[in-house]
Amino acid sequence: MASRRRHRLREPGRDGLDPGATAAAAAAAASLAAQSYIITASGRADDDGDVLLVGTRVQGDALPRPLMSGQGLATATAMQQGYSIVAVITDLTQVNAYTFLLQR
């Protein structure tokens, strides 16, 4: 039986995420991964910039899941090491608009 956990990150601003939102999403994903969750869904929850992460794990599983976050070419290196992209956090107000969350 699988269990699910959701993190909803409240971040202000309609035109983009707060500059700390990307870091907050990466930290929430790292917290889920440390608790054995695999990120199975992500997205923007509403027009206020809330980010939603959903993690799933097998009941009783206690093995932490490796997670990396990065931008640009860092993702190619991670993918060569066996990581897969599980979420993309987008903030078009930033120079590096896309932050990738990867798990193995």
Sequence-distant (≥ 6) Cβ neighbours of residue 16 within 8 angstroms: 49, 91, 92, 93, 94
Q: What is the mean pLDDT of the chain?
A: 80
Backbone angles phi, psi at 86, to 5 degrees: -110, -15
Residue with the larger pLDDT of the pair 44 and 38: 38
Confidence check: pLDDT of 23 > 90:
no
C-alpha count within 13 angstroms, C-beta hemisphere, residue 45: 15
Residue with the larger pLDDT of the pair 12 and 43: 43
Which among 63, 73, 70 has a CA at the least distance from the CA of 87?
Answer: 70
Residue with the larger pLDDT of the pair 49 and 101: 101
What are the tens digits of pLDDT across the range 51-98? 788 899 988 888 999 999 988 888 888 999 999 999 998 877 778 888
User: Which domain range does residue 22 map to?
Assistant: 2-103
The total domain count for the chain is: 1
Does the pTM exceed 0.85? no
Give the per-residue pLDDT at 4.
Answer: 58
Which among 23, 11, 29 has a CA at the least distance from the CA of 71?
Answer: 23
